[in-house]
Chain A
Amino acid sequence: MLSNLGNILLFLNVILSLSIIYTANRNLKISEVIDKKIYQLSLIQSTSIIICFFVLIAAFIVSDFSLITVYQNSHSLKPFFYKIAGTWGNHEGSLLLWAIILSIFSFLFLVYNKNHPNKFRLLTLIIQNILILGFLFFILFNSNPFSRISPIPSEGLGLNPILQDPALAIHPPLLYVGFVGASIYFSAAIASLITNYSEKSFSLSIKNWVLISWCFQTLGILVGSIWAYYELGWGGFWFWDPVENASLLPWFAMTALFHSLIVFEKRNLFYFWVIILCLITFTLSVTGTFLVRSGILNSVHTFASDPSRGIYILIFLSLMIFGSIFLLFQKYKKENYDLNRNSKETFILVNNWFMMFYLITVLLGTIYPIFTDALTDNKISVGPPFYNAIIFPVVVVFLIFMAIGPKAKWIKNKFENIRIYFFILIGAIGLNLVILFFFKSYTLLSNFIIISALFLIISSLMDIAKALKKNKLDFARIISHTSFGFLVLFIGLNDIFSVEKDYNIKLGETKKFENYSIQLQTLDLKNYKNYQAVIGKLEIKNINSNQINILNPEIRIYDKPKTLTYEAAIKTSLVKDYYLTMSNIDRSDYYNIKFQKKPLMAWIWISVIMIVIGGSLRLFSNAKNN
């Protein structure tokens, strides 16, 4: 029953999309006013796709195993929360989520942009609905979540245990709003090219959408990192895994985009560059989806991959890319940038160069293995050393520009108070020396990174003082820039001061290192609803301060599907995290434990949240000004 209902709703959506395209197209030819019918159709479209998704959620909740997707990704004994989260924890369901976001953004864009030319709005709607159709066909003919299985299995296969996690329940929806949200400015960019809508006001139509998608993308990446940190058991939070990279690529493009938009809005410059960035962002989102879902790359994320999907997404991607290029070639006019070397415009352009540099580096590292594999039969993997070697030295220069750029003036070629930066630099170097002197020494590159991060932080903080005096405070920018400085600082310090110890330990045994002792006190076996767990009780004692921490890492044995996972025990405080994983050693009564002391972890997460807060503040102030 649910399967029929779902399929009917999907077909209804196809019809709705087609009729929106048809009506909007006719409207475009005969009248300048947008027909009320189009609003209604668009609203019905969003509502029906949401209902369609709820039908799928219902199927997961009641464990309707006549649906292949439910059978493959759920189990009747799974906790209620994960039954729901399971809806988008798989390929088919998550595509439906894509379609929802595409539709909702399409409707909201239509409603909230009444001040813009109707031709542009209608055309955006048409392009967006072509994208929606593309995804609906993909869902219906290749990845239908409502496909049936017969005979109906009595029990489901269960959800991959490492996905049964609160962070992972919200990670995909957050990321999808970012990924898919980029579609609306892709459509708007195409519409703008076709209708020659290249005035400054075009930036107003998309800037809030860019910010929304950027905020969600950032949060999505953050939640994914937090999950990787405590679930994958390596103690790291970023692995330069191809799929992590796939989420980072559109992020670079978005960041470049909303900085360029500032210039476009203020000076009516960079129109084509803004358009190119709009196109690139969504193209990268779809490329990311292609890389993840086709199974072309091996990574922690390739839980569900299937080459036939790959072909479909690749065709879709090619149409998008070549369509955009064709249009861009037709419309492109050479722009003359007459920029002053020290003006704000120049600095924002520099920001964009940096973003493009990061984007190209990460893109190259991500798809290089595909190239070598396809062309030379050699399998290679590009790991952290490549990214660390190329990205981090450049971060140093980037941070300095990030500190100076915002102080530049529009148009003018003048800087106030150059001397002050010299003092800030001295201050940053001084602080770095303090850390070096009181704690421990680190590499030259780390020194540079810490100094440049401090430089950005101090100069941003001084901005606050100055702006408060003038009563002209740009909170959004200051918060996100300062927080970015802190983010780099904390990542740097965390990397420098992390301690890692690896032992094989027996029950009751104690190991000592530096001023710590670790004792494996007890081992418990516990039964839970969907797994069994061996829980270790380990006492970490700081011999100097006599402070004791108990950590309980687990080895979990899941039934459905049968899997072994190692759960890290983490004790978080504002100053440091203790991180401990335990694994059994076959045919021996020893356990392998890996202990890590990771300073300032919590602050890394907080910095990212602050960056997002900065972005949302800008969004609110934009909304207020409109």
Chain B
Amino acid sequence: MQKIIKIIILFFFLFIIGIFYLGLTKDTNYSTSSLINKDTPEFKIISFDDSNFYTRDDLKKNNYTLINFWASWCAPCKIEHPILMKLSQKKKLMLLGINFKDKNLQAKTFLSDLGNPYDLLAKDKNGKQSVKFGIYGIPESILINKDLIIIKKFVGPLSVDDYNNIIKIIE
């Protein structure tokens, strides 16, 4: 019995050290390249005012859709907001905002103070829907086309370069 325990302890530490070694040799940078050209996942997400649900079908109506994950508590979201406002003027692009783990009132204040760029606004109160899109920090944005193929994913606040990039793609 004692021998078995000893072997288990030994393997336990070997396992941990092995994992540490694997972790070291892995690239720690978050890469989005694996998502490109993939199909948009199935989702059903409740609208911000609780009146209805949005699904993939809602995204087929437009040439391009930019799904933007944001929250009122997120400072970088404020930084990218002016760019979203500018993008909202483009007819070919639909903006779907997903309010992430936020309080309704604060989200409303955010939009009334800074402007509402979104054509569709949904909310993901506990962050479960966003997991399907591979979101783990906000802001993140995903650009998809009519066929629901992911064209680009932006991690962090949209920059002026990102804006120009999006414009180039949709025009």
Q: What is A's interface to B at a CB cutoff of 8 Å?
A: 290, 294-296, 298, 307, 310-311, 314, 317-318, 321-322, 325, 329, 367, 370-371, 373-375, 379-381, 502, 504, 583, 585-588, 590, 592
* CB proximity of B16 to chain A, nearest CB, Å: 8
Q: Contact at A504–B114, with CB atoms within 8 Å?
A: yes
Contact assessment for B17 and A317 in the assembled complex, using a CB-CB cutoff below 8 Å: yes
Q: Are A314 and B136 in contact (CB under 8 A)?
A: no
Asked whether A325 and B24 contact (CB < 8 A) given A379-B136, A502-B72, A588-B82, the answer is no
Contact between A314 and B78, CB atoms less than 8 A apart: no
Please, which residues of chain B bring their CB within 8 A of the CB of A318? 17
The answer to whether A585 and B19 have CB atoms under 8 Å apart is no
CB of B133 to closest CB in A, whole Å:
14
CB–CB A325/B9 < 8 A: yes
Contacts of B24 in A (CB 8 A): 294, 296, 307, 310-311, 314
The answer to whether A321 and B28 touch across the interface, beta carbons within 8 angstroms, is no
Within 8 A of A (CB), among B40-92: 72-73, 75, 78-79, 81-82
Inter-subunit contact A502/B106 (CB<8 Å): yes
Indicate if the CB atoms of A586 and B22 lie closer than 8 Å.
Answer: no
A379 surroundings in chain B (CB, below 8 A)? 30, 136
**A366 nearest CB across to chain B (Å):** 12
A586 B79 Cβ-Cβ under 8 A: yes
Q: B31 — nearest CB in chain A belongs to which residue?
A: A379
Instruction: Say how far A259's CB is from chain B's closest CB, in angstroms.
Output: 24
CB A329 to nearest CB in B, in angstroms, measures 6
Complexed CA–CA distance, A375 and B23 (Å): 9
List, in ascending order, chain A residues with CB within 8 A of B30's CB: 379
**Which residue on B lies nearest to A369, using beta carbons?**
B23
B81 neighbours in A (Cβ, 8 Å) = 585
Asked if residues B17 and A374 are in contact (CB atoms below 8 Å), the reply is no
Complexed CA–CA distance, A503 and B100 (Å): 19
A290 to chain B: closest CB distance in Å?
A: 7
A296-B136 contact in complex given A318-B17, A321-B13, A502-B73, C-beta closer than 8 Å? no
Q: Does B161 contact A (CB under 8 A)?
A: no
Whole-angstrom CA separation of A612 from B21 in the bound complex:
37
Cβ of B6 and Cβ of A374 under 8 Å apart? no
Residues of A within 8 A of B21 (CB): 311, 314
- Which single residue of chain B is at the shortest CB-CB distance from A500? B73
Task: Name the distance in Å between A114's Cβ and chain B's nearest Cβ.
Answer: 36
> Which of chain A's residues has its CB closest to B82's CB?
A587
A321 to B18: give the CA distance in the assembly, Å: 13
With the chains together, A295 CA to B28 CA distance in Å?
8
* A374-B75 in contact (CB<8A): no
Interface of A is mostly: helix
| Closest chain B residue to A291, Cβ basis | B20
Add 10 more A-B contacts to A298-B28, A585-B78, A592-B78 (CB < 8 A).
A295-B28, A307-B25, A311-B21, A314-B20, A317-B17, A321-B17, A325-B10, A373-B28, A375-B19, A588-B82
Instruction: Tell me the minimal C-beta distance from A370 to chain B in angstroms.
Output: 4
Task: Please state if B75 and A592 are interface contacts (CB–CB under 8 Å).
Answer: yes
B26 CB-CB contact with A under 8 Å: yes
Instruction: Give the shortest distance, in Å, between A428 (CB) and chain B (any CB).
Output: 33
Complex CA–CA separation, A374 to B23 (angstroms): 5
Contact A370 B19 (CB under 8 A): yes
Q: When the two chains form their complex, are residues B113 and A314 in contact, meaning their CB atoms are under 8 A apart?
A: no
Which residues of A are found within 8 Å of B113, using beta-carbon distances? 504, 590
What residues on A are CB-neighbors of B78 within 8 Å? 583, 585, 592
When C-beta atoms are compared, the residue in chain A nearest to B16 turns out to be A367
In the bound assembly, the distance between CA atoms of A588 and B30 in angstroms comes to 31
What chain B residues lie within 8 Å of A585 (beta carbons)?
Answer: 78-79, 81, 114
Evaluate contact between B82 and A370: CB separation under 8 angstroms: no
Q: Which of B13, B24, B72, B136 has the most C-beta atoms of chain A within 10 angstroms of its own C-beta?
A: B24
Chain B's closest residue to A322 (CB) is B13
Distance of A560 from chain B, by nearest CB (Å): 24
Question: Could you list 18 examples of A-B contacts with CB < 8 Å?
Answer: A296-B20, A296-B28, A298-B28, A307-B24, A311-B21, A314-B17, A314-B20, A314-B24, A321-B13, A322-B10, A329-B6, A370-B23, A374-B26, A375-B22, A502-B106, A504-B113, A590-B113, A592-B75
User: 7 tightest A-B contacts by CB?
Assistant: A374-B22, A370-B23, A310-B24, A296-B23, A374-B23, A504-B113, A374-B19
- Give the residues in chain A near B16, CB-CB below 8 Å: 367
Given A502-B73, A585-B78, A373 and B23 contact (CB-CB distance below 8 Å):
yes
The answer for the CA separation of A380 and B26 in the assembled complex, in Å, is 15
Chain A positions within 8 Å of B26 at CB level: 373-374
A186 CB to closest chain B CB (Å) equals 16
> Is the CB–CB distance between B136 and A381 below 8 Å?
yes
Instruction: Provide the bound-state CA to CA distance between A314 and B89, in Å.
Output: 54
Complex CA distance for A367 and B18, rounded to whole angstroms: 13
Residue in chain B with minimal CB distance to A311: B24
Which B residues are CB-close (under 8 A) to A317? 17
Measured in the bound complex, the distance between the Cα atoms of B30 and A321 in whole Å is 32
Q: How far is the CB of A386 from chain B (nearest CB, A)?
A: 14
Contacts of B9 in A (CB 8 A): 325
Contact of A583 among B20, B22, B75 (CB under 8 A): B75
Q: Hey, what's the 0/1 contact readout for B136-165 against A, CB within 8 Å counting as 1?
A: 100000000000000000000000000000
Q: Which A residues are CB-close (under 8 A) to B28?
A: 295-296, 298, 373
Pick the contact of A586 from B19, B73, B82 — CB < 8 Å? Answer: B82
Interfacial chain B residues near A290, Cβ < 8 Å: 20
What separation, in Å, do the CA atoms of A355 and B21 have in the docked complex? 28
Interface centre among A296, A321, A371 (most CB of B within 10 A): A296
- B15 CB to nearest A CB, Å: 9
Closest residue of chain A to B5 (Cβ to Cβ) is A329
Measured CB to CB, the nearest residue on chain B to A326 is B10
